[in-house]
């Protein structure tokens, strides 16, 4: 059995977040429910990502979600690395879509090429191309 990690990010505005990720090249793979979705699975190559609107109703076994609303949009303490074939290509695509980097593209001392952007809910994405 192959293992993988699929980040699941809570968002305050599902449509705005989906549009932001699509501006980076992610595409919709799945939604639920079909009409008026509360979550999307997005993909970029082999990368999978789930974005979910902050819950307004909490099921009995999901009381732990009660504080999600307080956490969304407050500069979450999370930074994700997105490994790509061409950081420059994704950088240009992001800039063309109006996404401003919080770390401009550069060649780090450990090798490769990278830049960092912040999504609408404060999650940091470092886009990294290995050398």
* Region 24-52 average pLDDT: 93
Average pLDDT over residues 99-113: 92
Q: What is the pLDDT of residue 70?
A: 67
* pLDDT surpasses 70 at 61: no
Confidence of residue 124 (pLDDT cuts 50, 70, 90): confident
Mean predicted lDDT score pLDDT of the chain? 86
Say yes or no to pLDDT of 73 above 90: no
> 105 with 114: CB under 8 angstroms?
yes
Q: Which residues contact 12 (CB under 8 A, 6 or more apart)?
A: 53, 54, 72, 73, 120, 121
108 CB-side CA count, 13 A:
16
Residue 66: band (very low, low, confident or very high) from pLDDT cuts 50, 70, 90: low
**pLDDT at 125 > cutoff 70:** yes
C-alpha distances out from residue 8 to 12, 40, 41, 78, 119, Å? 13, 10, 9, 12, 13
- Residue 47: what pLDDT? 92
Residue 106, C-beta contacts closer than 8 angstroms, at least 6 positions apart:
113, 114, 115
């Amino acid at each position: 059995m192959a293992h993988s990690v699929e980040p699941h990010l809570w968002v305050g505005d599902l449509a705005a977040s989906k549009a932001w990720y699509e501006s980076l090249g992610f595409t919709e793979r799945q939604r639920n429910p079909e009409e008026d979705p509360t979550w999307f699975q997005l993909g970029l190559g082999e990368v999978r990502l789930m974005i979910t609107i902050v819950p307004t109703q909490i099921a009995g076994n999901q009381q732990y979600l009660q504080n999600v609303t307080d956490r969304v949009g407050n500069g979450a303490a999370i930074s994700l690395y997105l490994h790509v074939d061409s950081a420059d290509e994704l950088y240009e695509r992001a800039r063309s879509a109006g996404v401003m980097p919080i770390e401009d593209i550069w060649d780090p001392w450990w090798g490769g090429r990278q830049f960092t952007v912040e999504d609408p809910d404060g999650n940091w994405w470092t886009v990294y191309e290995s050398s």
